[in-house]
């Protein structure tokens, strides 16, 4: 019985001992995603718009970017500038514009939402256009590639 009590006491003491230390998660955690600021892309950019499944340019416009989000615009050839509302999320710049008269569908109003990333000095992105029609909304998705003007 003494032996049993001694074994039981040793087991209880071991169970109350220090617990294992948790692994150092800081060393194994993924590095934080790169971030971007509006000031990183300040300047004038020439953007080419293409259909999702084609490299043929269907539209070209100029985008004026600034650290000041109220100063962003897009300008289509022969038309006044359209205000753009940019926001930043991690490594992406999200743009919203409109409604304004579409440069691709004459006479139709469009609202666009784009997502751009800075890749090797170019803004690469996707834009979703919502066209206001007499029936349901008409939606189109485009690819964009913009280069900074010197």
Domain residue spans of the chain: 38-148
3-class secondary structure, 36: coil
126 Cβ contact partners less than 8 Å away, ≥ 6 residues apart: 114, 115, 141, 142, 143, 144
Residue whose structure tokens are 């205000």: 83
Which pair of structure tokens corresponds to residue 120? 């090797």
Residue 95: predicted pLDDT: 98
Q: What is the pLDDT along the chain (150 residues), one digit of tens a residue?
A: 555 545 445 555 555 555 555 555 556 777 776 799 999 999 999 999 999 999 999 999 999 999 999 999 999 999 999 999 999 999 999 999 999 999 999 999 999 999 999 999 999 999 999 999 887 779 999 999 999 997
Residue 111 pairs in a beta bridge with 130
From the options 2.40.128, 3.40.1350, 3.30.1890, 3.90.1690, give the CATH code of 38-148.
Answer: 2.40.128
Number of residues that make up the chain: 150
């Amino acid at each position: 019985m003494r032996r049993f009590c001694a074994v039981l006491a040793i087991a209880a003491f071991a169970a109350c001992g220090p617990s294992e230390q948790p692994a150092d998660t800081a060393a194994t955690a993924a590095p934080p995603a790169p971030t971007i600021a509006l000031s990183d892309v300040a300047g004038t950019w020439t953007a080419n718009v293409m259909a999702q499944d084609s490299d043929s340019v269907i539209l070209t416009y100029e985008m004026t970017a600034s650290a000041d989000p109220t100063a962003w615009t897009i300008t289509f050839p022969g038309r006044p500038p359209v205000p753009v509302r940019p926001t930043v999320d991690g490594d992406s710049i999200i743009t919203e514009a409109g409604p304004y008269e579409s440069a691709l569908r004459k006479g139709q109003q469009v609202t666009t939402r784009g997502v751009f990333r800075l890749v090797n000095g170019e803004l690469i992105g996707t834009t979703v256009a919502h066209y206001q029609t007499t029936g349901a909304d008409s939606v189109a998705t485009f690819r964009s590639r913009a280069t900074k003007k010197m």
